[in-house]
Amino acid sequence: MKSQTKTVNVVIFGIGAMASLLASFLLRLRTPKQEDAPVRISNLVMFGSWQEQLSVLQTNGLSMSCRDGSVVKLQPDVTCELSELPAADWVFVLGKSYQTERMASQVAEILRPNGLAVTLQNGLGNLELLQESLGQERAAQGVSSHGAYLRRPGHLVHAGEGETQIGLVPGREDDIHLVARALDWTGFATQVTANAESLVWGKCAINAAVNPLTALLEVKNGELLQEPMTCRLMALAVEEVASVAAALKIELPYGDPVGHVESVCRATADNRSSMLQDVLARRPGEVEAISGAVVAHGIRLGIETPVNDFLLRHVTLKMSGVKFDPAAFGELDIS
């Protein structure tokens, strides 16, 4: 007799670009047409407080410009009320890093005792905050290299495809593999890894090299490759991250950090980084969890990180309303 497909409740914390992209894939499991679906999603709810996006999603749904040029219309369930969320088997955390501590306590209220929360956020330290609230066995680290941005509230652009990886959690191996199979089945290519820490630092290196520069210059990812100066700044930023990671005895998941960052820029050339989106929308960003975390580790370890420090200071100034002058790059020795 064929075993019955497992049914799960899923909550996505976040209603921004990456949260919306993940929801668009997972919706395929709400009423899967194929019998080989690894799970069926009974309830899928997005949770967030960005009022303009929330209102558009609730009223008009989500329009998504796909990689093949088509536009699809989706209707995810969205709420800003914690009391309206179902008891969750799986939670995906995609809010901003500065919101993680608050979100972790909220996840603890709705996650089932045997549930699993997966962070797919930018920056360092998010997993640790989830583990503090949920316990180590109920929180997992994930990393995704998809590119997505909101052209306007309610209109998502899938700007770049990439692989997603989720780290194993001792004692929860079967559950992690099931989550990965479910995501992979939807087309959101996902693998399982035993070295999540390496993935987090690998993603941090990419973000540190790309996001602050795109935010300061207000350009898409691919435009960074068009100027020798920005290519050099990206290389220096990622080399600093690699030095800090090496001092922590963390091996990045790729052998050529500079070449990898450049390949990510090419693969996501049309993407507006999350930090650029935050600057344009005049909302708080994640530079502290990315560049700031690299600088803080560097200070503790006695490793100089002048480029990441420059990017941290100037993105912070820009977030406060100070216009960035590219002539400021002259402060750096980029020879």
Of the candidates 194, 222, 237, which is a domain's last residue?
194
Confirm if 14 and 46 have CB atoms less than 8 A apart: yes
Does residue 67 share a domain with residue 143? yes
Q: How far apart are CA 97 and CA 84, in angstroms?
A: 23
Please report whether residue 223 resides in a domain. Answer: yes
DSSP conformation letters of 276-324: HHHHHHT---STIIIIIHHHHHHHHHT---HHHHHHHHHHHHHHTTPPP
Does residue 218 share a domain with residue 155? no
Does residue 130 share a domain with residue 45? yes
Between 2-6, 255-259, 312-316, the lowest mean confidence (pLDDT) is in 2-6
Give the pair of three-digit tokens for residue 309: 């420090």
| Highest mean predicted confidence (pLDDT) among 27-36, 158-167, 236-245, 249-258 | 236-245
Give the pair of three-digit tokens for residue 28: 């395929």
Which residue segment(s) compose the domain that 210 sits in? 198-320
Does residue 223 share a domain with residue 166? no
Does residue 153 share a domain with residue 109? yes
Confirm if 13 and 95 have CB atoms less than 8 A apart: yes
Does residue 69 share a domain with residue 53? yes
Q: Is the pLDDT of residue 2 over 60?
A: no
Determine if residue 187 is left, alpha or beta; phi over 0 gives left, psi from -120 to 50 gives alpha, anything else beta: left
| Residues designated catalytic | 203
Cβ burial 303-313 (10 Å sphere, 16+ → b, else e) = bebbbbbbbbb
Of the candidates 177, 194, 211, which is a domain's last residue?
194
Please report whether residue 333 resides in a domain. Answer: no
Does residue 172 share a domain with residue 214? no
What mean pLDDT do residues 182-207 have? Answer: 93
pLDDT number for residue 191: 95
Closest to 213 (Cα-Cα) out of 142, 281, 262, 155:
262
Bridging pattern class, strands 111-119 and 88-93: parallel
The residues facing 325 across adjacent strands are none
pLDDT number for residue 167: 94
Q: How far apart are CA 252 and CA 152, in angstroms?
A: 35
Strands (E) located in 50-198: 62-65, 71-74, 77-79, 88-93, 111-119, 139-144, 147-152, 155-160, 164-167, 190-193
Q: Which secondary structure element, helix H or strand E, spans residue 47, and what is its range?
A: strand 39-47
Confirm if 219 and 273 have CB atoms less than 8 A apart: no
Does residue 57 share a domain with residue 156? yes
The CATH number covering residue 213 comes to 1.10.1040.10
Does residue 150 share a domain with residue 49? yes
What mean pLDDT do residues 97-110 have? Answer: 97
Residue pLDDT, tens place only, 54-71: 999 999 999 999 988 999
Domain count, the chain: 2
Please report whether residue 217 resides in a domain. Answer: yes
Mark out the alpha helices in 139-195 (DSSP H runs).
Answer: 173-186
* Length reported for the chain: 335
Please report whether residue 117 resides in a domain. Answer: yes
Please report whether residue 327 resides in a domain. Answer: no
Of the candidates 194, 221, 238, which is a domain's last residue?
194
Does residue 210 share a domain with residue 180? no
Mark out the alpha helices in 148-227 (DSSP H runs).
Answer: 173-186, 196-217
Closest to 57 (Cα-Cα) out of 83, 69, 37, 75:
75
Per-residue pLDDT band at 160 (split at 50, 70, 90): confident
Does residue 261 share a domain with residue 179? no
Please report whether residue 334 resides in a domain. Answer: no
Percent of the chain whose pLDDT exceeds 70? 99
Please report whether residue 166 resides in a domain. Answer: yes
Does residue 36 share a domain with residue 134? yes
The CATH number covering residue 48 comes to 3.40.50.720
Q: Is the pLDDT of residue 3 over 90?
A: no
Please report whether residue 328 resides in a domain. Answer: no
